[in-house]
Amino acid sequence: MEPSPWQNGTVNAPALNLGVVDAGVIAVFVFAILGLGFSAKLRDNSILQYLAAGRSLSMPAFVATLVSTWYGGILAVGDSVKAFGIGGLLLFGVPYYIFAVVYALFFAERVRQVDQISIPERLGQRWGKSAGLVAAGLIFMLAVPAAHVLMLGTMLHLFTGWSLQPAIVVATIGGTLFLYKGGLLAAVRAGLLAFVMMYLGFFVIAGWCVTHYSASAVISHLTETQKKWDGGVGWLGFLSFFIAASWTIVDPGFHQRVSSARSPSIGKKGLYVCVGFWLLFDILSITTGLFAISILNPSLSGLEFFPLLGNQILPPGLKAIFFCGLTGTILSAMVGYTLVSGATFGREFLGRLSPGMPDERIKFWTRVGFGASCVLAIGIAFNVKNVVLDLWYAYSGTVVGALLLPVTAVYVSRFRLKAPASWATASMLGAFITSFAWLLYCKRTQNDNYEVSYKEHTFMLGTVIPGLVVSAIVLGLGEVAGRRASKT
């Protein structure tokens, strides 16, 4: 996919036409969501209150913040619909629902019951300091909000006409400031408003498309690939995307929300509610994306699909509601993952290197971590061509394949391993190095879809599977070594 011309700053005029009503509504929304964040009042100064809201999230708060954070990459849905058409639901929807249900059945209660509130902390408790540090490094990489930084910057660019790179920097700084004061509670309060607006906005635009445009015209504009159930990737490609959805199991934002629920039952039952909301939102957003293909110039980058569609077809007022839904959802996710990455840097990495560090120092280094995460996210965003393939499918997959089996082993009792700590640490490092080497090789050979050929069939392998294979081999050997040692 060709990069957007906006990535080199060639467009200087605002791309969105906002009247007085639209500008007023958006301004009120921005002040409201920032006000909710800045007005968050923590019950105490403990690190548990700052990072996990005292593990007291109610069902509505849990559902709203997890739904809006997990689906914060909304602009990239345009990319996925443009590339895979109706197959986007099966490639980027159904597998994630299934793994969310798996998480609810086998992980959620245990995640909330244990004292450890993060994945690195849990792995460190089971396999020692080295395993915890390696996991912290991997989780930091996974949590860096590069996709959301790019999308929020894109929205600011469209609103103002600024070049994309300055817009990314300003949006990132402005959107994360309230985290420094309120931590997770601030993110949750902002997420509540984002949750309401994301659904209201997409009900507005999907309803407008369905009532004002022909469904038959939409079908006629789709390519044969876009009409296929699998988006043209084939069964093996679909399997690769399905396995990539196991990201759900190791996602640090997902884990943080479940760990912060008021009770284990809220974490478990809330996930079922979330799946229902995600299905509804996928139907709304993919329907909107399909209409965008027929209404807009198909050569546009997918990140601009939704904003430019709303700008072209919605009347004043409704246009602002839709833009608020887009912006709020992205902001909520960016804030959520910035919080996780900062906490990983301050508490799980530096805190683990300095046992006994007081809460105030951990909070200080967590806030430093916010800045470090944002700087790294901005750097990545400046060089991304395709959020779906480059970030979600490839970059994130290198971490998912390394963490999936160790995380499963420490939370699901039937998969408990006797592998020594050194083997667990080696499995994470070996899996990550293998997957990242495959990613670099594909980039050097211009294999942008991470494809391999097998018996005259070419399919997308991705980066999760290579790492997962290495992880399984190393942990399997470690299990054999552990069982032998236990018999001697």
Average of per-residue pLDDT across 335-341: 93
Residue 300 has pLDDT above 70, yes or no: no
Which range has the worst mean pLDDT, 80-84, 113-117, 276-280, 361-365?
A: 80-84
Residue 301 has pLDDT above 80, yes or no: no
Render the burial of 206-221: b for 16+ CB within 10 Å, e for the rest: bebbeeeeeeeebeee
Burial class (CB in 10 A: 0-12, 13-18, 19+), 315: exposed
Average of per-residue pLDDT across 346-368: 91
Six token digits for residue 296: 């807009």
pLDDT interval class at 305 (50, 70, 90):
confident
Contacts of 478 (CB under 8 A, 6+ apart): 417, 419, 420, 422, 423, 424, 426, 427
Give CA–CA dist 150/374, Å, rounded: 11
pLDDT interval class at 263 (50, 70, 90):
very high
Q: Which of 464, 458, 469 is nearest to 232 (CA)?
A: 458
Give residue-wise pLDDT tens across range 316-326.
999 999 999 99
Give CA–CA dist 374/384, Å, rounded: 15
Average of per-residue pLDDT across 257-271: 94
pLDDT at 275: 96
Residue 214 has pLDDT above 50, yes or no: yes
Give CA–CA dist 337/342, Å, rounded: 8
Burial class (CB in 10 A: 0-12, 13-18, 19+), 381: buried
pLDDT at 384: 84
pLDDT at 269: 96
- State the angle between helix axes of 59-70 and 179-212 in degrees (0 to 180), rounded to the nearest 10: 70
Give residue-wise pLDDT tens across range 1-27.
444 444 444 445 677 888 899 999 999
Residue 232 has pLDDT above 80, yes or no: yes
pLDDT at 3: 46
Q: Which residue has the higher pLDDT, 40 or 376?
A: 376
Residue 455 has pLDDT above 80, yes or no: no
Residue 376 has pLDDT above 60, yes or no: yes
Residue 94 has pLDDT above 60, yes or no: yes
Residue 375 has pLDDT above 90, yes or no: yes
Give CA–CA dist 165/331, Å, rounded: 17
Average of per-residue pLDDT across 451-480: 90
Amino acid at 237: G
- State the angle between helix axes of 179-212 and 318-343 in degrees (0 to 180), rounded to the nearest 10: 140
pLDDT at 12: 58
Average pLDDT, the chain: 89
Residue 34 has pLDDT above 80, yes or no: yes
Average of per-residue pLDDT across 466-486: 91
Residue 310 has pLDDT above 60, yes or no: yes
In this structure, the dihedral spanned by the alpha carbons of residues 67, 73, 79 and 84, taken in order and rounded to 10 degrees, is -30
pLDDT interval class at 302 (50, 70, 90):
low
DSSP secondary structure of 407-453? HHHHH-GGG-----HHHHHHHHHHHHHHHHHHHHHHHHTT-TT-EEE
- How many residues does the structure list for the chain? 488
pLDDT at 299: 60
**pTM over the 0.85 mark:** yes
461 and 441 in contact (C-beta within 8 Å)?
no
